[in-house]
A and B are shown apart, each in its own frame.
Chain A
Amino acid sequence: MTDSSTAAVLSLDDFVTLVRDEIGLDIEPDQVAVDFDELPDWDSLYLLKLVTALELATGRKIAVGKVLEARSLKAIHDVAVGG
């Protein structure tokens, strides 16, 4: 789980599981694309745990600036697994 070749295998479903496990946010797969404003339980502080957990899970460094610009969990997933 620590080399970059595993990055692509963090599927959206795995990501949802990681979000649930790491930050305790009870979301369904169909909620990942909704804007944070429509996710009442979302707290920007969760990003700290999420970034750390994503770096561990993907074995790659996450661009925090891009994560902060993301408006949905799906967008964060894109940053985590994208180029």
Chain B
Amino acid sequence: MSTPTAHIASIGTALPGDPVDNASLAKVLGVNEEWIEVFIGTKTRHFARDLGTGEVRWSLADLCAQAAQKALAAPGVDPADIEFIVLGTATPDTLMPATVNQVADQLGLDQVPTFQLQSGCAGAIQALSVGQTMIASGQYRTGLVIGGDVCSKHLDVQRDLSGAAPSDLVNFVLFGDGAGAAVLTAEPAGQRVALRHVLNRFTGLGRKPGQVIEWFGLADRHDDRQALTEDYKAIEERVPVMAVEILWELLGELDWEADDLDFLLPPQLSGRMTRRITEELDVPTAEEISCVADTGNNGNALPFLQIEKLLDRMADGHKALAVAVESSKWIKAGFALEKI
């Protein structure tokens, strides 16, 4: 008997509250609005935290559960069939319990194996990889794969940012919050999109991290370490090169030609970086599916937001390829989809 192929049966996403535009963000941060528009190229993002008061309106678990509920409510999907849950996130609500278990609780799911991956921009793909492997094992037939981040945990609106380092400040204009979920099945169901291949590989041996997110405990919470650090220069240099390498590696693995691609889902760093990377990927015959200019970089939610847009356009036989790079410790990631 051949190894079962995983299929995406449905997708759900959740973005908290109204979009926050650059004018509102620039005012709160005391930075130049046009700089965000031109340099970052992101127009809007969503925050789980109220930008005016700092009040937390949604937890990561709330957003993940909202996204999962949408995926579970889709035609051809039965919540009673869910046999496992995998969540990828860089920003869990608490270290324990793992947020995935709070999501299961909100969804009314019980007696299923749950996994949470501590992960950045490659996390959704790592979660897909785990889900695919579980289905390929033949032991599980249906599972829920989720990715989400609440980056606004670090958006301290009371903080005086006038003295903040650029590597600190840039995080406030790059990131947003959100979640996405997919129901994976062993047999084609619902959207009938086959997950043809998943790439998830650590390539950071001996390389300095491109992004660091600290966490603080009782003993070190008063340290003045920068909570988020972005080596933007290294990211600008390395990510486009890695993205091209990933594209060609995936095409080689699949024995697909670049011309075979109907859709390309490029890495979603920021509106401007994504435009640049897409140019370098240079697959003019494939339609680009991006969301970051409207959603902000909401980490583990991004591939699901892209797949949601993709499913609106995909017809039978269409092929799509997604590329992602996690610059924290330089992880290459990607996946290929085919509607059957």
A49 at the interface (CB under 8 A from B): yes
Which applies to chain A's interface (DSSP): helix, strand, loop or mixed? helix
Q: A62 to chain B: which residues have CB within 8 Å?
A: 32
A68 to B236, CA, bound (A): 14
- B32 contacts across to A, CB distance below 8 A: 48, 51-52, 55, 62, 64
B170 touches A (CB below 8 Å): yes
List residues of chain B with CB within 8 A of the CB of A68: 38-39
Count of chain A residues with a beta carbon within 8 Å of a chain B beta carbon: 15
CB of B35 within 8 A of CB of A45, answer: no
Residues A48 and B31 in contact, CB atoms below 8 Å apart: yes
Given known contacts A44-B233, A48-B169, A62-B32, what 5 new A-B pairs fall within 8 Å (CB)?
Answer: A44-B39, A47-B35, A48-B32, A51-B32, A52-B35
Distance of A44 Cα from B97 Cα, bound (Å): 40
- Inter-chain contact B31/A45, CB cutoff 8 Å: no
Interface residues in B206-235 by Cβ distance below 8 A to A read: 230, 232-233
In the bound complex, how far is the Cα of B200 from the Cα of A26, in angstroms?
A: 40
Whether A12 is near chain B, meaning CB under 8 Å from some CB there, is no
The CA of A12 and the CA of B280, in the complex, are separated in Å by 37
**Contact: A45 with B233, CB < 8 Å?**
yes
Tell me whether A43 and B233 are in contact (CB under 8 A): yes
CB-CB contacts below 8 Å: A1-51 with B: 23, 43-49, 51
B34 in contact with A45 (CB, 8 Å): no
Contacts A45-B170, A52-B32 given; indicate if A64 touches B38 (C-beta within 8 A).
yes
B75 located at the interface, meaning its Cβ lies under 8 Å from any Cβ of chain A in the complex: no
Closest to B32 in A: A51
| Interchain residue pairs A-B with the least CB separation, the first 10 | A45-B166, A64-B34, A43-B233, A45-B232, A64-B38, A64-B35, A51-B32, A48-B166, A65-B38, A51-B35
What bracket does the count of chain B residues touching chain A fall in? 10 to 19
Which B residues lie within 8 Å of A52 (CB)? 30-32, 35
**Nearest CB to that of B233 among chain A residues?**
A43
Query: Which residues of the partner chain B approach A64 to less than 8 Å between Cβ atoms?
Result: 32, 34-35, 37-39
A59 to chain B, nearest CB (A): 14
Residues on A with beta carbons closer than 8 Å to the beta carbon of B31: 48, 52
Give Cα A49 to B31, complex, Å. Answer: 8
Q: Could you tell me the distance between the alpha carbons of A52 and B167 in the complex, rounded to whole angstroms? A: 15
Shortest C-beta distance, A14 to chain B (Å), equals 20
CB distance from A12 to the nearest CB of B (A): 22
B28-51 contacts to A, CB under 8 A, are 30-32, 34-35, 37-39
Please tell me if the beta carbons of A44 and B236 are within 8 angstroms of each other in the complex: yes
Among residues of B, the one whose C-beta sits closest to the C-beta of A47 is B39
